[in-house]
Amino acid sequence: MILLKKELTYLRKNKSLFLISLPALLFVFAFSYLPMFGTVLAFKDFNYAKGIWGSDWAGLDNFKFFFTSQDALRVTRNTLLLNALFIIIGLAASIVCGILLAELGRKAVRVFQTVLFFPYFLSWVVVGYLTYILLNPTYGAVNKLLEWLNITPVDWYSDPEYWPVILVITYLWKNVGYTAIIFYTGLMSIDPSYYEAAAIDGASRFQQILRISYPLIVPLVLLLFMLNVGKIFFSDFGLFYFVPRNAGALYSATDVIDTYVYRSLRVVGDIGMASAAGLYQSFVGLVLVLITNRIVKKIDSESALF
Cβ(257)–Cβ(233) below 8 Å? yes
pLDDT, tens digit, 9 for 90 and up, residues 223-234: 888 888 877 777
pLDDT, tens digit, 9 for 90 and up, residues 40-51: 888 888 887 788
Q: What is the mean pLDDT of residues 118-144?
A: 90
Cβ(231)–Cβ(285) below 8 Å? yes
Residue 178 has pLDDT above 80, yes or no: yes
Q: What is the mean pLDDT of residues 288-305?
A: 76
Q: What is the pLDDT of residue 244?
A: 92
Binned at pLDDT 50, 70 and 90, residue 2 comes out as low
Q: What is the pLDDT of residue 273?
A: 79
Average pLDDT of the residues of the chain: 84
Q: Which residues pair with 51 in a beta bridge?
A: 47
Report DSSP letters for 183-206, one per residue: HHHHHHTS-HHHHHHHHHTT--HH
Residue 29 has pLDDT above 70, yes or no: yes
Question: Nearest Cα to 155, choosing from 249, 18, 59, 223?
Answer: 249
Worst-scoring range by mean pLDDT, 46-50, 258-262, 302-306?
302-306
Separation of alpha carbons 116 and 197, rounded Å: 32
Q: What is the mean pLDDT of residues 157-176?
A: 92
Binned at pLDDT 50, 70 and 90, residue 86 comes out as very high
Contacts of 126 (CB under 8 A, 6+ apart): none
Half-sphere exposure (Cβ direction) of 274: Cα atoms closer than 13 Å: 16
Contacts of 53 (CB under 8 A, 6+ apart): 40
Q: What is the pLDDT of residue 1?
A: 62
pLDDT, tens digit, 9 for 90 and up, residues 266-277: 777 778 877 888
pLDDT, tens digit, 9 for 90 and up, residues 277-289: 888 878 877 888 7
The strand pair at 44-47 and 55-57 is best described as antiparallel
107 against 216, higher pLDDT:
216
Report DSSP letters for 124-143, one per residue: HHHHHHHHHHHH-TTT-HHH
3-state secondary structure of 255: coil
Q: What is the mean pLDDT of residues 2-20?
A: 77
Binned at pLDDT 50, 70 and 90, residue 93 comes out as very high
Helices (H), the chain: 2-13, 15-28, 51-54, 61-68, 71-103, 106-117, 124-135, 141-148, 163-188, 192-200, 205-208, 214-230, 237-242, 251-254, 257-263, 271-299
Contacts 24+ apart (CB under 8 A), 256-261: 256/75, 256/78, 256/79, 256/82, 257/75, 257/76, 257/79, 257/233, 257/281, 258/79, 258/234, 259/75, 259/235, 260/71, 260/75
Express as a percent the part of the chain with pLDDT over 70. Answer: 96
Separation of alpha carbons 201 and 195, rounded Å: 10
For the entire predicted model, the pTM comes to 0.82
Tell me the CA distances in angstroms from 11 to 23, 28, 150, one per residue in order: 17, 20, 70
